[in-house]
Amino acid sequence: MIYDQKIVTDLIEEIRINSLCALTKCSKLKELYQKLKIIFNRINDQLFWITPFEVVISPTKDIIEPWYYDPKSQSKYSVLIERNGECCYIFRELDWSLDDEISVNKQIADRLGDWEIFHAPTNVRDIEALLKKNCWKFDKDKIPKIGDYPPEDTREILSWDKKYVLTGTTIDNMCRVTRDKWSEICRREYWFKNSD
């Protein structure tokens, strides 16, 4: 599968539009939770190579700094959206509030479309970093490819770009090598197998 930033860009826009719609129409936390869960499950389905988003309802007092929590003005529960250590939470004050910092629906919706994994990888070095940070799942069949032209032997290739290939069978033995070096390794391996 060739990585297509347009798919990601379209999904980001979809998150922003649908989140803004949900924030505007929903007045109850449970309603907002259900809408956001649908939005982020769609992202999980479309971007199947990423570590998935989780959307849950959590007590606000467990998320917010204790000295900032005001049970009189803030909702008892929040919608918590998490992904690989990145998280945000939305609770109700007079209006919706994101991370106890943003209370304008449009700005909340924009923030919901701004996660590290949406930043486009431009080469295998970026893909390697996303895999090592556990932003993307290590599944050799689902890791996107950057370049259109595959190397001559793709059996142990995770991804490729114009200059490099990313090889490996586990996250621990991933290795980035030039296409020329990979071709040389393949020729040597082919020669060795056929020299018997």
User: Residues 96-139: pLDDT tens digits?
Assistant: 999 989 999 999 999 999 988 787 788 999 999 988 888 888 88
Element at 165 (helix H, strand E): strand 164-167
Cα–Cα distance for residue pair 58/77, rounded to 1 Å: 6
Q: Quote the crossing angle between the two packed helices 105-112 and 5-25, to the nearest 10°.
A: 150
At residue 49, the pLDDT reads 81
Mean pLDDT across the stretch 45-55? 89
**141's tokens:** 């069949």
The answer to whether the predicted template modeling score (pTM) of the entire model surpasses 0.85 is: no
140-153 in b/e burial notation, b at 16+ Cβ within 10 A? eeebbbbbeeebee
- 91/179 same-domain check: no
Query: What does the pLDDT look like over 149-177, one tens digit per residue?
Result: 888 888 888 999 989 999 988 889 999 99
Element at 27 (helix H, strand E): none
- 30/109 same-domain check: yes
Query: What does the pLDDT look like over 1-44, one tens digit per residue?
Result: 666 778 888 999 999 999 999 999 999 999 999 999 999 999 99
Task: With beta carbons less than 8 A apart as the criterion, state whether 184 and 161 touch.
Answer: no
pLDDT over 70 at 196, yes or no: no
- 173/152 same-domain check: yes
pLDDT band at 59 (very low <50, low <70, confident <90, very high): very high
At residue 34, the pLDDT reads 98
85, 118, 151 — which closes off a domain? Answer: 118
Give the count of domains, the chain: 2
Neighbouring CB atoms inside 10 A of 30's CB total 11
At residue 43, the pLDDT reads 92
- 104/137 same-domain check: no
- 80/30 same-domain check: yes
Mean pLDDT across the stretch 44-61? 92
